[in-house]
Amino acid sequence: MKVKEGPFQGLEVRAANCLMNSRLESIKQVREALITNWVKVLRTKNLGKKSFVQICEWAGVQDPRPSASEKTITTEKTITTAIKMLERNGYTVTRNA
């Protein structure tokens, strides 16, 4: 069900409630929050991935979360660090070539 009037018109009710809970009162404030501090917006109570995507589309902002291809790639350094940590904690680590 969508909101029919008010500052969040056209947005799903759950997403609109999340924005009200985060004290964002206009589309301008929502855009600024998504651009500058989207992590804080994403931590709003009851705001899930689908509602977050709906809010981004409604506000005309590209989803700021990193895509799967942009996420950190495991490097040799991180693997070595993980192996050292495991060995310090008593685990025996063998690596496949």
Q: Is residue 21 part of a domain?
A: yes
Per-residue pLDDT, 45:
81
Range name among 12-21, 53-62, 65-74 with the lowest pLDDT average? 65-74
Range of the domain at 59: 13-65
- The yes-or-no verdict on residue 48 having pLDDT over 60 is yes
Confidence at residue 14, expressed as pLDDT on a 0 to 100 scale: 92
Q: Is the pTM of this model over 0.85?
A: no
Q: Kindly state whether residue 95 falls inside one of the protein's structural domains.
A: no
pLDDT for 89 beyond 90: yes
Q: Is the pLDDT of residue 25 over 60?
A: yes
Give the per-residue pLDDT at 86: 93
Number of folded domains that form the chain: 1
Contacts 24+ apart (CB under 8 A), 11-20: 11/54, 11/55, 11/58, 12/51, 12/54, 14/46, 14/51, 15/47, 15/51, 15/54, 15/55, 15/58, 17/46, 18/44, 18/45, 18/46, 18/47, 18/51, 18/55, 19/44, 19/55
